[in-house]
Amino acid sequence: MTFMELMERFPTEKAVIDYFLKVRYPSGVCCNHCGSVKVYQENNYPKVFRCNDCVNSFSPFKHTIFEKSSTDLRKWMYAIHLFLNGKKGISAMQLQREIGVTYKTAWRMLHQIRKAMGNVDNPEFINTIVEIDETYIGGKPRKENKRDDDDNDGGGKRGRGTSKTPIVGVVDRKGKKVYAKIAMPNAEGKKLTARQLVDVLKTVSKAENNNTIMTDEFRGYSPLSRSGYVHMRVDHTKAFVDGNTHTNNIESFWSTLKRGVYGIYHHVSVKHMQQYVNEFCFRYNNRNQDMFNLVLKQSIFV
């Protein structure tokens, strides 16, 4: 959707409310308390409805990302538009400048949108080729941090063995869907264990699902064969592709995730990192769909 299409669709706040009502109540507005369809909209408060049967008032925005927000709904729609149109997202500072709100409001809006992006059930991969890999998110280690020193030359380690946050990702090669999860929120330099890797894989791909698992030579994946999986490895010291055996799809996802984190957001705390991971999973999984309407549908948490 272009900017002009957005303005034509939402010229007023009432237009936003009417559009959202169709998304939340496709069969018509009903009372959130008793389910009655005998409801009417308050004249002076278009965000509030009243039920004729139970005489309760309710808001169609309750249990959504817009609940308790005093920000103009048109700004919300524009924020979602900007956020989705940027392949790697948009920073809170830029959103602040674009829609004329405080930084605190812009930051909260973006996190609420990410919350909607992550409001999905875990996918299940069946009869396909699955790639699994791990990556590490965090800044370059300081030279004075001896734990991260590589020998004593002042250069920092990368990946395993550092204090960065480990993330495990799984890609369905045929369906082009990705699932990624922080394996250890408080890693503190600890290494990923085989059990943690297998637990993430089992979330979306059980041994009985008849999937072929592609990994690199990391020994943490060794238990996959004993767990009943068909396991194939590619030795990256010799080649990145060995026939049909490779992990290029998940590594491509890692590239986009890291470019977004380092290029747009610069720093992500461990506390909120899963939300950022969910954001990029949503972008990857729905890149060929109408993401705007999908975010509105997923913004409802009941």
- What the block records as the tokens of 143 is 């030279």
Report pLDDT digits (tens) over 194-207: 888 989 999 999 98
**Rounded Cα gap, residues 84 and 1, in angstroms:** 10
Report pLDDT digits (tens) over 90-125: 999 999 999 999 999 999 999 999 999 999 999 999
Indicate whether 143 pLDDT > 70.
no
Handedness of CA 190, 195, 201, 204 (dihedral sign): negative
Q: Is the pTM of this model over 0.85?
A: yes
- What the block records as the tokens of 82 is 């900007």
Predicted local confidence at residue 186, as pLDDT = 59
Q: Mean pLDDT lowest for which of 14-23, 132-141, 182-191?
A: 182-191
Predicted local confidence at residue 184, as pLDDT = 73
b/e string for 197-227 if b means 16 or more Cβ within 10 A?
bbebbeebbbeeeebbbbbbebebbeebeee
- What the block records as the tokens of 100 is 């004329």
Residue type, 212: T
Q: What is the pLDDT averaged over residues 155-178?
A: 80
Average per-residue pLDDT for the chain:
88
pLDDT band at 17 (very low <50, low <70, confident <90, very high): very high
Indicate whether 46 pLDDT > 70.
yes
Indicate whether 154 pLDDT > 50.
no
Indicate whether 151 pLDDT > 50.
no
Answer for the pair 216, 236: CB distance below 8 angstroms, yes or no. yes
- What the block records as the tokens of 230 is 């068909």
Answer for the pair 98, 82: CB distance below 8 angstroms, yes or no. yes
Answer for the pair 160, 193: CB distance below 8 angstroms, yes or no. no
Predicted local confidence at residue 165, as pLDDT = 87
Nearest to 164 by CA among 66, 16, 268, 234: 268
Burial of 298 (C-beta count, 10 Å sphere; 0-12/13-18/19+): buried
* Domains of the chain by start residue, with CATH: 129-268 (3.30.420)
Predicted local confidence at residue 150, as pLDDT = 45
